[in-house]
A and B are shown apart, each in its own frame.
Chain A
Amino acid sequence: MFLRDVYSKALWDARRSLPGWTVAIAAVALMYAAFWPTVNSPQMHDALAAYPDDVLAAFNSGDLGTAQGYLGGAVYGLLVPLLVAVFMIAAGARAVAGDEEAGTLDLVMAHPVSRRGLALRRLGAALTGMAVVAVVLFALMVALRAPFQLETVAVGGFLAMNVQLALFGTMFGTLAFAVGAATGNKSLALGVSAGVAVLAYLANSVFPQVAALEWTRNVSPFHWYLGGEPLTNGVQWGGAAALAGTAVVLAAVGVFRFGRRDIGG
C-alpha cells in the first residue's frame, strides 16, 4: 500500500529517518523537561538570578522560575525548534532537489506524473513527518506532565505549543522545498534555509536588544512561533497565520517555478 503513489512512496522512503527524528526530538525534549523538578529549587533560582537578563533573553530563557518559562525557554525555545528546523529543512530540500541531484527524479518524471502533482505530494509527505513529530511530542508531554511536575501547564497549552511548533517546522520545510524545487540545487536549498533560520533566531533573541533593531522581532519566524507564550496563552493566531501564510506563499512559488523549468540531468 505504500507503493501506491508519489506521496505514500515518499513516506515509505522516510520509514527509517522519520522514526529516528521523532525519537531524537522527543528524547531531547523529555530529557530537558525531566530536569524541571531540579531547576525548580531555591538554589537554582538564586543562581539564575545572577545572570544578566540580556544573556537569558538571548537563549529565549527570560523566565526560568515557572514551568511555562522553563519549557518555553530551554525546551521549546531553543533545542526543539533547532532540531525541528534541521529535520524539516533536510526533508524539504530532499523532496525535489535531493532526488534531482541524485539523478533519480528523471525516472519518476518520465512516468505519467505532473510536475505540480509530484511537488505537492513530496511536500505533503515532508509535512506529514512534521505532524507525526508534533503529535508524538504533544502526547508524551501530556503523558509525563505529572511525573515531571509540569501540571501548571494546561493540556491546552501543550497543544497550542505543539501546533505552533508544527507550523514553525512547516515554514522551514517549505522554504527548503521551495528553493530546491525552484532551482534543483540541494546545497542552495539547505544553505538559504539554514541562513534564514539563524537570522530568524537572532532577530527574535539578539537583535532586539539594540533598540533600533527591535522591529526585526516582528518579522522573525521564531517570534511568530514563540511570541505571546503559547504554553500559557494558547495558540497565537497572528504568529500562526504568519507561519502558515509564509509557507503557502513559498509552496506556491516553488511549485510554480518547478513547473516551468528544465529538470537537470
Chain B
Amino acid sequence: MADLAISTQDLVKTYGRGTRGLAGLDLEVRTNEVYGYLGPNGAGKSTTIRVLLDLIRATSGTVRVLGLDPRAAGVALRRRIGHLAGDFVVDGRQTSRQLLTYLGNLRGGVPAARIAELADRLGLELDRQIRGLSKGNRQKAGVIQAFMHSPELLVLDEPTSGLDPFLQQEFVRLVQEARREGATVFMSSHVMSEVQHTADRVGIIRDGRLVAVESVESLRAHALRSVTLTFDGAFDAADFARVPGFTDLTVAGPTLRGRLAGHTDELVKAASRYTVRDLLCEEPDLEEIFFHYYARPEADHVPA
C-alpha cells in the first residue's frame, strides 16, 4: 500500500443526534498525485479532512495516511502534513512573523529565510498585526504555514477561497512545485475550476460517499466542446455530420458550429479537405460534467 498516500475503507462518521458526516467513504489517493476532492457544501469534505488530521474520530471504518493510523500516530503524521483551511482563523493580536515562527517551532523549526521567501512571493508583510490584514492577506499567512516545511502531504480544504486571481495563480504554482518535489496534494473544493488546473484526478463526494473518481484527462475527453469552423468558400456539411461525437451542427454562411465530444482528430481530418480560415475550439467546461454527477440521483440514498 506504499503507493497510496491516503486510503480509507468504509469510513463512517456520525455526529450526535444521528447527523451523518460520512456514510461509508472509500478513498484512495496515490502518492505524488494531486487529488481534487469535489462536492457541494455539507457533502463531507471537511469531515474527511478532519478525520485525516485526527481532529475528529471516525465512527467506524479504517483510515491510513502516509501508512499511519491518524488516531494512533497523530503527532508523527502531522509532522509530515501541511494543512490549510479555507477559513484560516487565527488570533489577530500577533504579527504574521510571530505566528509563522511559532508554528514553525511546533514543527521543530522552519528557517526564517524560507518564511521570508514565501512571504515575498505572495506579497505578505510579515511584521503587520494579523488583525489589521484583509481576508486575502490573512489567507496568505495560511498558505505559508501549510507549505513552509515542504510536507510530504498537503491537505488543503477549499484553499483558494478569498484569494485574488494573482494569488490563485501563485498558489497553483506552489502546488505544482510541491508535486514536482514529490509531495502528494489532497485538495477539496466545491468548484471544479479551483482544482482543474492542478489535479490529476478528481473524486466527487456527495452525502458522505464517493460517487465518482475520474482523471481530469478523461473528464476533458468526455467534455463537450463548442467548435466553430470558418471556411474560405463552400463546404459540405454532410462531411462533418459523419464525424463521430460531433453533434448539434448549424451552418451560417461560411461558418459551421457544433459540439464535439472526445478527440478532435476526426474533425480536423474532415476539415482538412477545405481551406479553413479559422478554427475555434473552446476549453471544455468540466464544471458542466461535474454538475452532471450531482444531477444523477443516487439509487440507494437514504435520508439521514
Contact = CB atoms under 8 A, between A and B. Distances in A.
B50 A104 contact: no
B83 A104 contact: no
Interface in B46-69: 50, 53, 55-57
A102 B90 CA distance: 8
Given A108-B106, A111-B107, A102 B89 contact: yes
Interface string A3-17: 111100100010000
A109 B53 contact: yes
B56 A107 contact: no
B83 A110 contact: yes
A120 to B, nearest CB: 14
B76 interface: yes
B101 interface: yes
Contacts of B105: 3-5
Contacts of B89: 102-104, 106-107
A265 B102 contact: no
**Most chain A CB within a 10 A radius of its CB, from B79, B106, B145:** B106
Interface string A70-107: 00000000000000000000000000000000111011
B135 interface: no
Contacts of A108: 103, 106
Given A13-B91, A112-B79, A114-B75, A262 B106 contact: no
Contacts of A103: 87, 89
Contacts of A13: 91, 93
Interface string B21-61: 00000000000000000000000000000100101110000
A3 B107 CA distance: 12
A263 B103 CA distance: 19
Given A3-B102, A3-B105, A109 B55 contact: yes
Interface of A is mostly: loop
Contacts, number: 62
A39 to B, nearest CB: 43
B90 A107 contact: yes
A104 B87 CA distance: 11
Given A110-B81, A263-B55, A102 B106 contact: no
Interface residues on B, range: 20 to 34
B78 interface: yes
Interface in B79-100: 79, 81, 83, 85, 87-91, 93, 98
A132 interface: no
Nearest to B57: A262
Contacts of B108: 112
B245 interface: no
B106 to A, nearest CB: 4
Interface in B98-119: 98, 101-103, 105-108
Contacts of B90: 104, 107
A113 interface: yes
B74 interface: yes
A100 to B, nearest CB: 10
B91 A112 contact: no
A265 B90 CA distance: 13
Nearest to B16: A262
Given A110-B78, A112-B76, A112-B79, A262 B107 contact: no
A111 B91 contact: no
Given A102-B91, A106-B85, A262 B55 contact: yes
Contact of A9 (B50, B55, B85, B102): B102
Contacts of A107: 85, 88-90, 103, 145
Interface of B: 50, 53, 55-57, 74-76, 78-79, 81, 83, 85, 87-91, 93, 98, 101-103, 105-108, 145
